[in-house]
Structure 1
């Protein structure tokens, strides 16, 4: 049975004790990528909680908070199908009972690059709500997708630096059959825009075939430059922890606008030579 609850008091009343609790945090509009997170949580946890909350703190003034898709009934059905124990779908006043918090998380230097440079304040808002939801749900395990790789890295850092006592588990990106990374924002794309958006995953795949940093970036840039429907925000090669790339595991990351929709994606690769 899946309990659907909306308040802190209800959450305290339905969660069990002396079990391995796993949480999946979402903003709703659930797709196969979210369902894969639920399956991993179900595989490792005795009790699975999915949170559904569109967090206003992580949207900038010109971003899509008001039009972000809200599909709660369909989301609940997806959670039931995956055997989720508890869906926690609070209202804004339940998460921020005193209005916008006067104290928020500081994402530090790692939060100022890539997405942080393009979306000032985004990571402070994201980390604030993640911290609050971790405190409310008290999980042993929390599952996040690798598609939002910088987000995952920051949450891992927060969990370690603040001694939160939770294991942050990254789950590989789930893709459409044509390679497009699954995202709630994909529904904004027109058919032509969706076709153009395939250049992101195609560029990353090509870049990941190279073992030298500049060759990987050059190969990816060429594919992106050949697609006029894609406006690149950034293409970056980093270490696996988002630091400077070095020989060994690395990440190739991209953000771009296709029409009015901003998309992100990334792939792992292995470098033999950093530069």
Structure 2
């Protein structure tokens, strides 16, 4: 049943991508920031520990754009790397965090209100109205959706039935949901199988030199109670509410 649902989801996505590509209003601009995922031949263990040598070869990026930060302690560093091989795309988030907090334990709930690492992917180099979203909190609770901008009558659509299998590794250096002390931070490692995009990767299949649009971001929750969180991103999006605007995404290149 799950495979049937995912196949239907991919059919919807493929149709949306085709329509988007045929009706795109904006092409690639020269000023779009470029970020590289490095090819790896190593065996990557997805455990939230960066002990494989190839991680050291990957470019290191930081999330320098902050939204809804109200306190000095709301600005906390995130370092980010990407690898890929013929089976998976790998992501590694290193997050400094004085107050580590998370509550959501139900898939497709609201892990984005917790300490959470996210990536949005559009498997083409143009600006389109459809992208895949992967949002996972430090409890390893995922919210994975397909986001459809302007789906009908100028309103967005969200496909919640998209629930692919992918690996997550997390390490926490601190005490979860206890703000009586100061934590060090946390790491999160993703391995997203390339066949997650089967059926829509035919437009721009993953290979050396392929470019996709993407946004990597972090949600930083510093209070045990309430829903306030700080968003930081790899490229500027100008407002926390605009993270799904694909025209603001950066460019991901799959490189050697």
> TM > 0.5 between the two?
no
TM-score (normalised: structure 2) = 0.27
Higher strand share: 2
Structure number with greater Rg is 1
Higher helix share: 1
TM-score (normalised: structure 1) = 0.25
